[in-house]
Chains A and B, each alone.
Chain A
Amino acid sequence: MTAALRLARQSAWVNFQEVAVNGFLLFAVVWQPLFVGVTTMYMLRHRADFDPMYVVVGTALSGIWSTLLFAGSGAISHERWTGTLELLAASPASFFVVIGGKLAGTTIFSLGSLVLAFGIGTVLFGYPVKIAEPGWLAVSLLLAVVALWATGMFFAPLAILWRTVGRFLLVLEYPVFALSGFLFPVLLLPNWIVPITNLLPPYWAAVAMHGAASGDLDLSGLLRAWFFLLLTGGVLLVIASRLFVEVLTRARRAGTLALS
């Protein structure tokens, strides 16, 4: 266990040095939330029920989500590109732990979106920071980040199998953003979609974070959201760990680990 944590930490550090300066990450963590935050503020600020914290939290979530959706597959594509993917696959180390560490390292990076989102609300638009339950928001954020990391881990193995998976993930970015109620309540969507959204960690992340920030959810409501956040995240993580093994075997069968 400690050996696995050690390897995960080292992998995060290597990944950080290799891709931290990568333009895409900067786009996901900085430019995308900046754009989303500013436009949404403009669109919503004259409405009677406007709550700037809702936009701040939603913007942060969208930044974290985009980063984590792409970071796992991005890390794998980068390894393929540098030729180290084969070396990782031929080493006795667990791919799950290595990529898990890399993605976790990026997670810390993604929190930059949160800072930025607050900056947009307070500095750019001059709204006061009004968090109803700061302690609960912190817990919600922590669990949300863990569950979104698990979601990223679920998509990462696909990059081992398909060299161009990044483009396909692009298709998933916005739907999850919309279906999870990051910035617009899910209730605005058709009824039949709601059960689907409930299967996704990002949905519960949005419920918990919005609930704690606005004070709309009491503790029992929050506990329920946290529970489902961990449950959906945990299920995805278990599937992901199987997927890693399966996909590596397939890649060894198909001969797609190298860039050729």
Chain B
Amino acid sequence: MLRDSVGAIELRDVRRLFRTTTGTLRRHAKEIVALDGLSLEVGEGELFGILGPNGAGKTTTIKVLTTLLIPTSGTASVLGLDVVRDAKEVRRKIGFVFGGERGLYYRLSGRDNLRYFAELYAVPPREIPPRVEELLELVGLRDRGDERVEGYSRGMKQRLHLARTLLHRPRVLFLDEPTIGLDPIGARELRRIVSQLHEGGATIVLTTHYLFEADELCDRIAVIDKGRVVALGTPDDLKANVSDLSVVELEVFGIDASTVERLRALEFVDSVVVEQRELRQVLRIQTRIAERAVAPLIAAVAAGQVGRVAVREATLEDAYVRLVGRVE
């Protein structure tokens, strides 16, 4: 029987444990549950975001899907191919970029890096030179292509990674925190290329912990925490989750932990996030009663400590805070 939409990517009940040891003399084996029965489905041509705090299992998910980790249990497939049984076939069809600067041959030029990866992906020899030039052009490295990678900036390396993974024209792309550590302009440039690839019809899975990035780019988002999906939907779906909430932002000076606890205990307060900004802090307080919360909140903080006050509608970030209970 034919199904009307075949998922480009499917994860079913995937668990992945890691065994680590601690201690030198008395060794204790410890088991970490990185993925705890994760299930997801991504449609063909979709730009799908995986959002979650550090340690949530984003990278582990990507590594399972790129055949680098074998699930402890459960199954995962890409384009209908099982990532364990048909690993080799999967590898031919996917591309991936892991965030960070590693994963390039530093003593080689950008161009030579691309040529070598083209060989690894069995791009026909005659097609390699034009393909390399085309991709250097796409990521804006054509002029710097003959320089050794060790002299590249972070953004350049990251763009080279993207070019590297497009050599064999993969239909599915996995991008694990591709903008991590980039300056705002570099990050924006990278997002522009990702959008362009998405418009070209590629299925893309992107992990990030920048909310605006997921909001701006993704068709759908899965929020994961502790190896499980805690929310799934379009950015608007997720925002709808917090449509009943407003956020009061209080600028305060030298507030202590006990005061924050006192605020959290208030009956009309949903959550409080403290953001440190040099000498002051900004408290972001989620509440259902909007403006009416302002006076009691100010009263709860010692007089003279409060600076600016603002009330605004909840954003995707607030939805995330509500789901995960913290921000990075």
Could you list which residues of chain A lie within 8 angstroms of chain B, going by C-beta atoms?
3, 6-7, 10-11, 14, 17-18, 82-84, 86-93, 98, 249, 252-255, 257
Q: Which residues of A contact B120 (CB under 8 A)?
A: 7, 88, 91-93, 98
Give Cα A255–Cα B100 distance, bound, in whole angstroms.
19
Contact of A14 among B92, B96, B116, B125 (CB under 8 A): B116
Taking a contact as CB atoms under 8 Å apart, the answer to whether B107 and A92 are in contact is no
- Say if the beta carbon of B137 comes within 8 Å of chain A: no
With A18-B108, A82-B103, A82-B105 in contact, do A3 and B122 touch (Cβ < 8 Å)?
yes
- Say if the beta carbon of B230 comes within 8 Å of chain A: no
Interface residue count for B (Cβ, 8 Å)? Answer: 29
Give the Cβ gap from A51 to chain B, nearest Cβ, in Å. 43
Q: Which residues of A contact B125 (CB under 8 A)?
A: 6
With A10-B119, A252-B67 in contact, do A83 and B88 touch (Cβ < 8 Å)?
no
Taking a contact as CB atoms under 8 Å apart, the answer to whether B105 and A10 are in contact is no
With A90-B96, A255-B69, A257-B68 in contact, do A6 and B119 touch (Cβ < 8 Å)?
yes
Which chain B residues in 107-121 approach chain A with CB under 8 Å?
107-108, 112, 115-117, 119-121
Q: Which residues of B contact A253 (CB under 8 A)?
A: 70
Contact of B105 among A3, A14, A255 (CB under 8 A): A14
Give Cα A87–Cα B116 distance, bound, in whole angstroms.
12
Q: Can you name the residue of chain A whose Cβ is closest to the Cβ of B125?
A: A6
Taking a contact as CB atoms under 8 Å apart, the answer to whether B108 and A14 are in contact is yes
Give Cα A190–Cα B116 distance, bound, in whole angstroms.
50
Give Cα A217–Cα B91 distance, bound, in whole angstroms.
52
With A7-B119, A10-B119, A252-B68 in contact, do A92 and B92 touch (Cβ < 8 Å)?
yes
Q: Which residues of A contact B212 (CB under 8 A)?
A: none
Q: Which residues of A contact B98 (CB under 8 A)?
A: 83, 86
Give the Cβ gap from B111 to chain A, nearest Cβ, in Å. 13
Q: Can you name the residue of chain A whose Cβ is closest to the Cβ of B118?
A: A10
With A3-B122, A10-B116 in contact, do A18 and B107 touch (Cβ < 8 Å)?
yes
For B1-37 the 0/1 string (1 means CB < 8 A from A) is 0000000000000000011000000000000000000
Give the Cβ gap from A234 to chain B, nearest Cβ, in Å. 25
With A6-B125, A17-B108 in contact, do A255 and B18 touch (Cβ < 8 Å)?
yes
Q: Which residues of B contact A93 (CB under 8 A)?
A: 119-122
Q: Which residues of A contact B104 (CB under 8 A)?
A: 82-84
Q: Can you name the residue of chain A whose Cβ is closest to the Cβ of B96?
A: A90
Q: Which residues of A contact B116 (CB under 8 A)?
A: 10-11, 14
Q: Which residues of A contact B91 (CB under 8 A)?
A: 90-92
A–B pairs, 8, beta carbons within 8 Å: A10-B115, A11-B116, A83-B100, A83-B104, A89-B68, A90-B91, A90-B96, A93-B119
Give Cα A6–Cα B91 distance, bound, in whole angstroms.
20
Q: Which residues of B contact A18 (CB under 8 A)?
A: 105-108
Q: Can you name the residue of chain B whose Cβ is closest to the Cβ of A81?
A: B102
Which chain B residues in 175-211 approach chain A with CB under 8 Å?
none
- Say if the beta carbon of B271 comes within 8 Å of chain A: no
Q: Which residues of B contact A11 (CB under 8 A)?
A: 116
Q: Which residues of B contact A86 (CB under 8 A)?
A: 68, 98, 103
Q: Which residues of B contact A83 (CB under 8 A)?
A: 98, 100, 102-104
Give Cα A254–Cα B116 distance, bound, in whole angstroms.
28
Give Cα A91–Cα B118 distance, bound, in whole angstroms.
10
Q: Which residues of B contact A14 (CB under 8 A)?
A: 105, 108, 112, 116
Give Cα A254–Cα B19 distance, bound, in whole angstroms.
8
Q: Which residues of B contact A89 (CB under 8 A)?
A: 67-68
Give the Cβ gap from B241 to chain A, nearest Cβ, in Å. 34
Q: Can you name the residue of chain B whose Cβ is closest to the Cβ of A21?
A: B107
- Say if the beta carbon of B61 comes within 8 Å of chain A: no
- Say if the beta carbon of B286 comes within 8 Å of chain A: no
Q: Which residues of A contact B105 (CB under 8 A)?
A: 14, 17-18, 82, 84
Q: Can you name the residue of chain A whose Cβ is closest to the Cβ of B101?
A: A83
Give the Cβ gap from B118 to chain A, nearest Cβ, in Å. 9
Taking a contact as CB atoms under 8 Å apart, the answer to whether A82 and B106 are in contact is yes
Contact of A90 among B67, B119, B122 (CB under 8 A): B67
Give the Cβ gap from A87 to chain B, nearest Cβ, in Å. 5
Give the Cβ gap from A211 to chain B, nearest Cβ, in Å. 40
Q: Which residues of B contact A257 (CB under 8 A)?
A: 68
Give Cα A93–Cα B119 distance, bound, in whole angstroms.
8
Taking a contact as CB atoms under 8 Å apart, the answer to whether B121 and A91 are in contact is yes
Taking a contact as CB atoms under 8 Å apart, the answer to whether B69 and A252 are in contact is yes
Q: Can you name the residue of chain B whose Cβ is closest to the Cβ of A9?
A: B119
Contact of B68 among A6, A17, A90, A92 (CB under 8 A): A90
Q: Can you name the residue of chain A whose Cβ is closest to the Cβ of B165?
A: A87
Give the Cβ gap from A9 to chain B, nearest Cβ, in Å. 9
Q: Which residues of A contact B112 (CB under 8 A)?
A: 14
- Say if the beta carbon of B158 comes within 8 Å of chain A: no
Give Cα A88–Cα B120 distance, bound, in whole angstroms.
8
Q: Which residues of B contact A91 (CB under 8 A)?
A: 91, 117, 120-121
